[in-house]
Amino acid sequence: ALSIFEEARKVQAPHTISFNACITACEKAGQWQLALALLNGMARQKVDRDAITFNACISACARLGHWQQAFILKEEMALLKLDRSAITYGACLKAFSENGQWERALSTKDDMSSAELKLEAIIFNACISSCATAGRWEGALGLLKKMHLEKVDRTAVTFGACIAACGKGKNWQRALCLMADLAAEKLEGVSTLWRSGRWMLGAKLAHDPR
């Protein structure tokens, strides 16, 4: 895509669509620095940057865990009055959740709610995972309860992330209670969690070492 882009530049001025195609190619190839270079090049050449441009750059940064840059781009979209969609927030949440940025993840979820975007299980799961990475079991359980109140389907992934949060926070009793709740829910994927349940024996022993 980049070679075609360079050839096209020789015969006509680049435009938003051609830049977006190249940035999207960079995103898929994990070339986040090149994606940002193209984004900045658009600004220098006074080429309009749209939501597609920024979403591709945010996704490129999020893919490799550069959550700070993803956050900056999300905020820049607001300054430029570009619509931030579920794609925008979802990419940021991925970066936040995988890097333990639980406060930013929760703030992003609240932004989605304010923008009247539908909060599906995958959004809550990402927030719960960010809490788990940071060992914030209280936050994870709060989100689990909120899903129940808002009638959002809770999956095996949801409970698994909550259990992981409790385990990391050494709240073994709550982790075991969640495991029991998970079994009662009869959710798809529960058997996988049970098969990998060696952690549960450790939890029991840590909670009651006798």
pTM for the complete prediction? 0.76
Residue 180: predicted pLDDT: 81
H or E stretch at 173: helix 172-185
Distance CA 109, CA 107 (A): 5
**Is the Cα torsion angle 196, 198, 202, 207 positive or negative in sign?**
positive
Residue 8: predicted pLDDT: 41
| Angle ∠(121,104,188) on CA atoms, nearest 5 | 20
Q: Work out the angle between the directed axes of helices 121-134 and 102-114 (0-180°, nearest 10).
A: 160
pLDDT per residue rounded down to tens, the chain (210 residues): 455 445 445 434 568 998 999 999 999 998 999 999 999 999 998 999 999 999 999 999 998 999 999 999 999 999 999 999 999 999 999 899 888 899 999 999 999 999 999 999 999 999 999 999 888 999 999 999 999 999 999 988 899 899 989 988 888 889 888 888 877 777 765 555 555 554 454 455 455 544
Q: Work out the angle between the directed axes of helices 137-149 and 121-134 (0-180°, nearest 10).
A: 160
Distance CA 175, CA 164 (A): 8
Cα distances from 7 to residues 10, 12, 96, 145, 174, in angstroms, run 5, 9, 37, 55, 61
